[in-house]
Amino acid sequence: MQLIMGKLTSYIQQNIVGMKTIRIFRREKDVVDGFKEVESIYVNTAISAGKIQSIYMPLGPAILTLGIALVYVYAGYTLGIPGSALAVAQVGDIILFARYMMRLTFPIRDVSQTLGTWIAAYAGLERVLEITDAPRNVEDLPNAKDIKIEKGKLELENVTFGYVKDRPVLNNVTFMVQPGEKIAILGATGSGKSSLIYLIPRFYDIQTGSIRIDGTDIRDFKLASLRKQIGVVLQDVFLFSGTIRENIAFGKPGASMDEIVQAAKSARIHEFIESLPCGYDTPVGERGVTLSGGQKQRVTIARALVGNPRILIMDDSLSFVDAKTEREIQSAIEEATKTRTTLIIAQRFSTIKTAEKILVLENGSIAEFGTHNELMAKNGVYKKVYETQFVQKASPILEEAGGA
Amino acid sequence: MSSSYGTFSTKQEERRKRTVPDRVLIRRVYEYAQAHRRNLIIGVSATITGALTGLASPYMHAIAIDRIITPKNLSGFIWWIPLFAAIILGNYLFQYIQTYQMRVVGEKVVAKMRDDMMEKLQVISLRYFSEGEAGRIISRPTNDANAVRIFIRMGLTSILVDVSSILGAFAIMFYLDLRLSLLAITVLPIAILLVWFLGKYSRAAYRRTLITTSGLTARMQEDLAGIKVTQAYAQEKETEKKFLKSQDENVKATIRAILIGSSYTPFVIGLRLIGTMIIVFYGVNAVLTGTITLGILVAFTEYQFAYFMPLVDLVTMYDQYQSAMSAIERMFDVIDTKVEIQDPPLERSVTLR
């Protein structure tokens, strides 16, 4: 019953969340038909469950009432035999007895209901414990310290990582990034680009090898200390409901207004924010203004910059944007990455162009690593991608550069 | 996102005042129930008959005491037992039919409404599905539908059972003894006033919990959606703090609501006991002077029980009724949403070459 109920709910959820896709493919009718099918199973299950329940639920009180009748009969009988050892004798006693039995009606009903609740609660508790008992995969090591990142030199040595034990996503990756350098990462879908950059703030722990920042293994940092010093711009732009100011200051609660404005300026969003009715105090999200994808992305860039991190990792995969937005984001990225060690998953040639070095990933291994000129001279994967994806396309919007 | 289109509203529904009168909503739900009229009629009649047969058993006790046990006329049990068993069996049977049929009606009516909602959701403007709103839309065919389902199954049945029990008990009591009945119901107005008055506070407290609960849900949704950002900026503690604050508010509001809600139960039980005392006090005199029999006095105390609790139940049912009505209104809100872009039927669509 709970199972089929969950099925119905998830069907509705999927339908509503995926409404756009359904509309695009004109599958509305199939969806409604499919829903009716799931629903009819649900209704039938609910009714047959109701049938069982309706047999059992009134049974307890009914039996009890019959029991009272028995008391009357027995009492009447003993009353009829004077001097009987079992004589209950007093009418008052009989009434008292019957009334006590009546009082049992509600408790009995309650007990049978509680039993049902108990079963549901037990199943619920199991699921709750499943979450609370889930192991934490990334934790502070006992000797972890707060360490300040001074320069931002990044080294990866023989890094192997997989989400599942024997299926590595990254294989023996080794490279070094000098302080302030910008590395553009290219690669096909599933080549391990995102996994690679998520290893730096320890979203996941590597299986073998080491990742060092300024010569210190990242596992020697306290998690909070490490993450606060690395600016992260994720692929999906997520803003919390609240004001723009709160969103930018998210990573550094209590950041001064100057810091916030500075970050917004670097992210090329300051002027836009100023143009809003309440400026930095304009609420965003459900109850506030709706920002476009490009504006949101620039707010997330500002959010990454507010702590003035030495290291920046960015997943710049915003594909479907117009030329103007593209230029704005581009300029924001350029400004933001100027003095910072940056790993950026690049989709646009303009991003790649400004990077000092390019890292091409293929099936979790480094295929090529070097400057644009070096890689062009190598006549390898990069050159091929460069020529097919960037040169031949006349359009200024170069989406899907890495084939993502 | 504006709701100026006369379409379903999106924000702060729990706070929203209802605009559609109850009778309109009830009539529309009844239209849905028309398709299952047979089930509905059987269910309602079984409910009423069931409640009335339930009332017969105290009277049977009276008969047993007066005509069989007290006069030590044991042979009376020969007809009394089968009759009593038949009443109990009948009561059981009616309850079974009632529970089953009302369940069928509830499930089927809500299923049809859910179908209509889903069909409408496929054609209304995509702007309703913009981010952040999905949760609210989802809750209509799920949470709201579920609330209505349970109300038809339990709430509606309770109302029917309560009303017929009360009226039946009154009728029998007045038939048995007029003076004692009048005495018995003296405490009733006080009880109703008390429940209604305290109920006002309890309803306000209850509505407050709806708001804190939805705040908590929204908080949780956002925290989960933004978990990557939270981790990336090492803000787990701050996020947890905010969550705990929401949670705390909700727990406090709930405890307050329960505190107020349960405060009147002892008063009500106390009043009922006073009622019983009045009955017993005057009843014993009446038995001694021979105006009524002992069996009738016993039956009277049972009937006092039979109408008092349903009455309190009815008053508290008001909350359930109200929230079911809001749920129904929200569901019709979806069903009635205007379609902005009408699609031609598939057969008439043009294939692009």
- B346–chain A Cβ distance below 8 A for any pair: yes
Contacts of B272 (CB under 8 A, 6+ apart): B187, B191, B304, B305, B308, B309
Could you say which residues from 149 to 188 on chain B have a Cβ atom under 8 Å away from some Cβ of chain A?
A: 153
pLDDT band at B3 (very low <50, low <70, confident <90, very high): very low
Cβ(B331)–Cβ(B119) below 8 Å: no
Residues of B within 8 A of A106 (CB-CB) are none
pLDDT band at B5 (very low <50, low <70, confident <90, very high): very low
Q: Which of B217, B208, B216 is nearest to B255 (CA)?
A: B208
As a whole number of angstroms, the distance between CA B91 and CA B46 comes to 9
pLDDT top residue among B90 and B125: B90
pLDDT tens-digit profile of A329-360?
A: 788 888 888 888 999 888 777 778 888 899 99
Q: DSSP H helical segments within A81-212, as ranges?
A: 91-103, 105-132, 193-199
The pLDDT of residue A113 is 72
Q: What count of other Cβ atoms lies within 10 Å of the Cβ of residue B34?
A: 9
pLDDT band at B80 (very low <50, low <70, confident <90, very high): confident
Contact B103 A46 (CB under 8 A): yes
Could you say which residues from 71 to 90 on chain A have a Cβ atom under 8 Å away from some Cβ of chain B?
A: 72-73, 75-77, 79-80
Out of A46, A226, A238, closest to residue B226 by CB: A238
As a whole number of angstroms, the distance between CA B315 and CA B158 comes to 11
Cβ(A198)–Cβ(A382) below 8 Å: no
pLDDT tens-digit profile of A175-227?
A: 999 998 999 998 888 888 888 999 999 988 898 899 999 989 999 998 888 98
Number of A to B CB contacts under 8 A, please give it: 175
Residues of A within 8 A of B74 (CB-CB) are 76-77, 80
- A250–chain B Cβ distance below 8 A for any pair: yes
Q: What predicted TM-score, i.e. pTM, was given to this entire model? A: 0.67
Contact B229 A46 (CB under 8 A): no
- Which residues of chain A have a pLDDT value below 70? 1-3, 78-92, 285-289, 317-322, 390-404
- B116–chain A Cβ distance below 8 A for any pair: no
Check pLDDT > 80 for residue B32: yes
Q: DSSP H helical segments within B34-76, as ranges?
A: 37-63
